[in-house]
Amino acid sequence: MNYKRACEILEINEITTDELKKQYRRKALLYHPDKNPDPNACATFQEIRDAYEYLLKHECCSGNDSSDDDADTSDDDKTGYNFAVFSFIKNILTKDSRNNLFHTILQRVATSCETNALDTLQKLDKTILIKTRDVLKKYRAEMHFTESFIESIDALIIEKTKNDECILLNPTLADLFEHNLYKLRVGDFTYIVPLWHHELVYDNSGNDIYVKCYPMLPENVSIDDKNNVRVSVAYSVTELWGKETVEVHVGGKSFPINVGLLKLCEQQTVLFAQQGISKINTTNVYDVTIRGDVFIDVKLNL
């Protein structure tokens, strides 16, 4: 085993402890001989393990903590499929979603046959079911589930959400910059919707109301999933000649670009840090204390 070969086996370029563990767990689960019917799966699995141990020991991790592996688990147990599932799920869950219930559900489903897994999923609250489906669909190959299994989960979701309602709102960019709220009336209930969120779910007498916000944006403006705004503008050199600043007007706001700081190149980006739309706070949906960034992509016609 050498460095180049180990990297090829794990399909990894930049060696960091976290990335190494993440890629090892993904590959180990994918080729685990308990689930993978390929006759070469056992040899491939051992090769993956050897590559991981080589890189862990020789290349990047001396003195680094590997405490997220279970210290009480023997080396023999760590080659078992259940432990591979446990380690993989632990690695893919974000800090926001890593709670004991969700972890337990995913592990139970991933280590069951598809019939028993569906039986477990049928008993879940629809919010947890949708969240679970998203993970299983993303990592279907690694967890050895069929496409028809995912389709069965989708059918479960349709059944559980058939009485729910989806409402689409189209705020302007100015609405987002100004933290505007929308008063939504559904039957006898009134909901105050913060328009800078992408999607919110409200309970309405046992049924859910899904409110999705799709801002009406100019063609040269986009918003990413972290609520950063990206604006594309183009100028000729003669257009900027002799000017100290040029104003970019977006959603009722003005962003002055210092012409003297622009480089004489075709494409560049100017950052206006924390001057954009409020960041989404899932704990307090009305929190507007932290704004996202505004990126202005400047194209110079030389």
The residue-averaged pLDDT of 4-10 equals 82
pLDDT at 83: 57
Q: Which residue has the higher pLDDT, 65 or 191?
A: 191
* pLDDT computed for residue 18 by the predictor: 75
Please give the pLDDT value at position 261.
94
**For 148-172, what is the mean pLDDT?**
89
Question: Which two tokens mark 65?
Answer: 């903590």
pTM above 0.85, yes or no: no
pLDDT classification of 254: cutoffs 50, 70, 90:
very high
pLDDT at 190 over 50: yes
Question: Is the Cβ–Cβ distance between 186 and 203 less than 8 Å?
Answer: no
Assess contact for 200 and 165: CB atoms under 8 A.
no
Q: State the pLDDT at residue 91.
A: 64
Q: Nearest CA to 32 among 67, 1, 78?
A: 78
Which residues, 6+ apart, have CB-to-CB distance to 162 below 8 Å? none
Q: What are the structural domains of the chain?
A: 3-160 (no CATH), 165-213 (no CATH), 221-301 (2.60.260.20)
Rounded mean pLDDT, 289-295? 97
Alpha helix stretches (DSSP H) within 56-204: 81-92, 100-110, 114-122, 126-138, 147-160, 173-177
Q: According to the per-residue pLDDT averaged within each range, which of 83-92, 102-111, 144-153, 231-240 is highest? A: 231-240
Q: How do 181-186 and 189-194 pair as beta strands?
A: antiparallel
Question: Residue 10: how many CB atoms within 10 A of its CB?
Answer: 23
pLDDT band of 73, cuts 50, 70, 90: very low
Classify residue 63 as left (phi > 0), alpha (psi -120 to 50) or beta.
left
Which of residues 94 and 113 earns the better pLDDT score?
113
CA distances from 34 to 23, 99, 148, 150, 227 (A): 19, 27, 21, 21, 43
Among 123-132, 206-215, 246-255, top mean pLDDT goes to 246-255
Average pLDDT over residues 122-137: 85
Model pLDDT for residues 259-279, shown as the tens digit of each residue = 999 999 999 999 999 999 999
Rounded mean pLDDT of the chain? 83
